Structure 1
Amino acid sequence: MLIDAHCHLDFEAFDDDREAMFERARDAGVGHFVVPGTTRKRWPAVAEVARRKDVSLSLGLHPYFMHEHQQGDLEALERMLDAHPEAVALGECGIDARFEETLEAQWKLLDAQLRIAKARGLPAVIHCVHANDKLAKRLRQLDLPVGGLVHAFAGSPEQASRFLNLGFVVGLGGATTFERAKRLQRAVRALPDDGYVLETDSPDMPLAGFQGRRNEPARVRLVCERIAELRGQSVARVAEHSTATARRLFGLS
């Protein structure tokens, strides 16, 4: 069985065919899905999708949506986590350095969420764009006891190693399927078997050959095949190890 360790199945992009999307995923061998929250407004939709037995939820405030976050959201996050003790992680939180005008506020919001994760013993699901080195430094300072997931990793072997040494794993998805992603592919080859999980970030981050089309969890099978190719391993071995790592990280039965 495969696990899509990061997919936004609450998004409106799936409103017209959500059940059919789950069917296609099951047909592709994908049996579990971790769905992270991105804004306070969307948390109820995430919780609704996570009423399914094959879906686990995470709750957080995403740096891409800084314009939507408001004063009181952190307190609301604490209350939502209290109301949903089944949440397997805190996130999606993180840093997106493409947006320089909100960068200082992003770091403050990330710090606050990581402290919540640390206090609650939850793994953190982190979005990181153009900030791997600075993020690793901050994670070292905070010393999170249960680590987490650096989602949609696109860095170097050295950057991946730093995150692994801090107790994190990296999320591998559609970016690995593009031939131009040579640095990322070197990192994929260098990872230990227990250093990564597979993900799609559906409906975003399409795979090579699917540009311009909605992404969906069934394609985690294609990600698995690509990782197997890059690592010179069987698809069965990559599926086994990535699923075991996702189960360990999120405490899935």
Structure 2
Amino acid sequence: MIDSHCHLDFSAFDSDREQVLQTCTERGVSTFVIPGTQANAWDNLISLCNSSGRLNFALGLHPYFLDDYCESHLQQLDELLTQQQGHVVAVGEIGLDFSLSIDSDLQEQVFTEQIRLAQQHDLPIIVHHRRSHNALIRLLKEKRFGNGGIIHAFSGSYQEAQTYIDLGFKLGVGGIITYPRAKKTREVIAKVPLTSLVLETDAPDMPINNKQGQRNSPVYLPIILQALQALRWEPAEVVKQACWQNTFDILVNIKT
């Protein structure tokens, strides 16, 4: 299994990162994609991923951290994408989060610039969303972004899901589907094409059902897979293999 979105570089894993990876191995989680979130953490992220053949990195500016944004960050990102050509798997985690107090115009500006860099470097993107599907879809269409990517932690409508799929994106399936109350998302994930789905945890955030208030971890990815298999009509092994292949199909340069 591939965890297509986790933040193993975060300090929440500093005390037991190697043990987490060992437990993941025992549970069949073999490969990880770690998106970047802020400029001052990119070097450490790259170093961590270079230390293991199983860890892959993306580079991007997450909307959460734009309070510290300056234009030089985009130049730095451009330079790193050039230096890490053949190693970086995507531009991300980028996106729009309209639940934040950070100015929406600034968010759109930074997101648009990162789309441009992804086009320039021929990379997919990993997209964060919250209360922002309409704006994201509008910008992706306006900029004619054709490299696709992953809509992280998808929780929109079936129509929105289909629009993203038509634009070349996969949908990130995470812990939300383990909650029975997440009826809308579970129904959408059960209905869209299997070829559009990838697995993720977003660890240490977005804990699965019955683990609320605890640190999330990639070790729980098999539980998310089981929840997905229960929602789908295809044989369980077909679902598992499809999620693996879909991740390779949409992200570049993944090492296992």
Say yes or no: TM over 0.5: yes
Spell out, residue by residue over 1:96-148, the C-alpha distance to the aligned partner (whole angstroms, 9 max, x if none): 01024421110000000001001111001110111112211211111222211
The unaligned stretches of length 5 or more in structure 1 are: none
Query: Which stretch has the larger CA shift, 169-178 or 227-236?
Result: 227-236
Alignment of 1:186-201 (within 5 A): 186-201=187-202
Q: Residue 82 of structure 1: CA displacement?
A: 1.8
Distance 1:100 1:146 in 2: 30
The unaligned stretches of length 5 or more in structure 2 are: none
Spell out, residue by residue over 1:172-191, the C-alpha distance to the aligned partner (whole angstroms, 9 max, x if none): 10111111111101110111
Residues 9, 101 of structure 1: CA spacing in aligned structure 2 closer, same or farther, 3 A cutoff?
A: closer
**Which residue in the other structure is 1:58 paired with?**
58
Query: Which stretch has the larger CA shift, 79-88 or 51-60?
Result: 79-88
1:121 alignment partner, SS class: coil
Query: Which stretch has the larger CA shift, 231-240 or 145-154?
Result: 231-240
**Which residue in the other structure is 1:30 paired with?**
29
Distance 1:247 1:147 in 2: 13
**Which residue in the other structure is 2:121 paired with?**
120
Quote the RMSD (CA, aligned, Å). 1.1
Distance 1:41 1:244 in 2: 32
- Aligned amino acid, residue 64 of structure 1: Y
* Contact in 2 for aligned 1:121/1:145 (Cα 8 Å): no
* Contact in 1 for aligned 2:81/2:121 (Cα 8 Å): no
Q: Residue 49 of structure 1: CA displacement?
A: 1.8
Distance 1:119 1:60 in 2: 14
Alignment of 1:120-139 (within 5 A): 120-139=121-140
Distance 1:192 1:234 in 2: 14
**Which residue in the other structure is 1:8 paired with?**
7
2:40 alignment partner, SS class: helix
Distance 1:234 1:221 in 2: 16
Given the alignment of the two structures, is residue 150 of structure 1 paired with residue 172 of structure 2, yes or no?
A: no
| Number of equivalences | 252
Distance 1:11 1:133 in 2: 30
Given the alignment of the two structures, is residue 244 of structure 1 paired with residue 245 of structure 2, yes or no?
A: yes
* Contact in 2 for aligned 1:66/1:102 (Cα 8 Å): no
* Contact in 1 for aligned 2:6/2:202 (Cα 8 Å): yes
1:171 alignment partner, SS class: strand
**Which residue in the other structure is 2:68 paired with?**
68
2:31 alignment partner, SS class: strand
* Contact in 1 for aligned 2:3/2:32 (Cα 8 Å): yes
* Contact in 1 for aligned 2:66/2:102 (Cα 8 Å): no
Query: Which stretch has the larger CA shift, 163-172 or 101-110?
Result: 101-110
What TM-score does the superposition give when structure 2 sets the normalisation length? Answer: 0.95
* Contact in 2 for aligned 1:9/1:49 (Cα 8 Å): no
Q: Residue 68 of structure 1: CA displacement?
A: 2.2
Distance 2:249 2:217 in 1: 24
Tell me which stretches of 4 or more aligned residues in structure 1 moved more than 6 Å.
none
Residues 7, 82 of structure 1: CA spacing in aligned structure 2 closer, same or farther, 3 A cutoff?
A: same
Distance 1:133 1:162 in 2: 10
- Aligned amino acid, residue 92 of structure 1: E
- Aligned amino acid, residue 171 of structure 1: G
Given the alignment of the two structures, is residue 19 of structure 1 paired with residue 18 of structure 2, yes or no?
A: yes
Q: Percent identity among equivalent residues?
A: 33
Spell out, residue by residue over 1:158-209, the C-alpha distance to the aligned partner (whole angstroms, 9 max, x if none): 1100000000111010111111111101110111111010000011000011
Distance 2:143 2:180 in 1: 36
2:30 alignment partner, SS class: strand
**Which residue in the other structure is 2:47 paired with?**
48
Q: Residue 232 of structure 1: CA displacement?
A: 3.1
**Which residue in the other structure is 2:228 paired with?**
227
What TM-score does the superposition give when structure 1 sets the normalisation length? Answer: 0.97
**Which residue in the other structure is 2:175 paired with?**
174
2:195 alignment partner, SS class: coil
